[in-house]
Structure 1
Amino acid sequence: MIKNKRNDIINIFLISPIGKIGTPTYEKFKDSLDYIINPAIINSEFNLKLTRADEIQKTGSIINDIVTQIATSFIVIADLTDLNPNVFYELGVRHALSPRTILISQSEEFIPFDLKDYRTIIYDTSAKGAKLFSESLNAFIKEIFESPEHLDNPVLEKLPKIHRQSISLEKQEFEKIPMSKASEKRNKEKKNTIENRLKRLLRIDGIEAQSTIGHQEIVFADRKMEKNIPGSEGSFALHWKLNEDKKTISNYYYISISESLLNWDDLRTDVRMLIAETSDFPSLIEFIIVSGNSVPSTSKENIKINFNKLLSKIPSHRRRYYKLEHWDEKYLKKREKEVGIVD
């Protein structure tokens, strides 16, 4: 938590469509600035200083000034209304650099799928709308000062995972170096990992890994269709189960494996992306989260609750196409006994 003295000036940069003076776009967003956003800034209990790009009074490159404001402002407000491409470019820059970004929009229809999991202040230009916006904005700013480093966007949420994957790849390259016999023995002892145990179970169940990264031509029971289904996303890899004819696919699975306990914060962005990228896919897709520890039932329930929150963002008729299961050490041992792998 950062303690803020009410007299300290807090710099806020507004990312917003602007348009040329005299155009409908300019008038629309100038009204939003004058009658909604600025009054909320003035009425806040904090000492806020708001800047919009067209208010920067400096010579030189306006792009440099905008990027500087995006990078250095303690808080950035981004108006998603009308899906303006400049707004989303600047928002992407901010998301890569810093948290403490407040999303606003005049309608939920302007919130793209990748951002639907993040809170957005919906506002209108009525007198009542201005009052509600002012209250919401003040509440958001209070929360920022309570948790200034809270990860509030998909870029910052995913970067640590990308870093971990990079380390994993480096480790794999290192493991290709010839090792001593003692090291070889230790390596063999580690082969009974959660991944190898899972592979045995999947093979028994007739579930096969789709090892080629990218999009595949999918074969259905009575015809061929080309569907864009990703082969992987983050820690998830595509698997499938064949029908009895061994030529067509009956079920699709995205499986994420870890030797340790997986948590939803590590997986949410990947799951959201896969749901978005399979939004028109006509078959059931099951997410299977596999972890090497025994997972408390409360943790499993929490993951399912968060998974259902993601599904609530898509049309209701699509929700039945997605399922989620969590396989932990307890479940794997149970299945190994059922199929006779262990006593």
Structure 2
Amino acid sequence: MNSERIHCISLPTPFAVGDVNVYLIESEKLTLVDTGPKTDEAWASLKRQIDALGFQVSDIEQVVLTHHHPDHVGLSDYFTEHSVRFITMAYNLPWLKKDPAFFEHHDAFYLTVYREMGIEKFHKKAMETVRGYLDYSCTIDVDVVVEEGDAIDGLPGWTVVETLGHAQGHLSLLRDTDGVMIGGDHLIKHISSNALIEPPPIGETERPKTLLQYRDSLMKVIDRNVIKVYAGHGKPVEHPKELVHLRLLKQEERADDILKMISQEALTGFEICQKLFPTIFLKELGLTMSETLGHLDLLKRDDRLKVVEKEGVLYFQAKEVAKHECR
């Protein structure tokens, strides 16, 4: 029987997703997985809950960051005064340092995507929104970079699993002895994780196909015989394999819905987005466009879609009506 104890600590966030879960693991090294958003409220809550467990923040020896999103990493700034090790994947480093060169690359990448989707006019506002989210993030140096299959010093029996899709630098931790996974935002019981559009690393130009990545990562839950997932939001997932099958099916059904939309005429990505999300497409443009583009990638991979470029804008049409011209 494993003697380790995993404590779930739920912290408030200023985001629509609600509270975020971080996890304290009592092992050879006292390890915190994720830290929460950079707010005084979240910091006070974290300290209070760690104290209630019989520890102090200064007792934490290392922090594993599942991905770079602000609700998971922001309070890392509060740990820099202690001798704590930060551990994460390489992709996250420029996000966590707020590297200006990376964000120039980031904005240029999104300009291309927004132009191709027919929404270039929203690019500036979208980038301003990203900068606003970064106010809740951190500016830290990472001590240890990990990748698929790595062990982590001080966490015997745990293995790093690359679970890309929701974020390009997303990792989960798997305890092989009992199939327990600490999964960040990889698999959440009450909501489907969005495979968010993100830029590739500096020096690369090809857009990551995030939904295809996410589907591959979901299959790791089945292939690695994961029994329980401690999620970044909400309650633990007790039957993860069943939920994975459901999520994969829902993705395929949404792709079918899109195919019906473009069976009679070619549409831009933005036009498809508006049809999919008629009430929230502008309010949640980053999320809804990621959802739309991901399912278009799925249709294209399955050779059910033709893409036609006209004056820099992409038009999408079902393969069986590909002979029809774009507007």
TM-score normalized by the length of structure 1? 0.25
* Higher helix proportion (structure 1 or 2): 1
Ranked by relative contact order (alpha carbons within 8 Å, sequence separation 6 or more), the top structure is: 2
Larger Cα-atom Rg? 1
TM-score by length of 2: 0.26
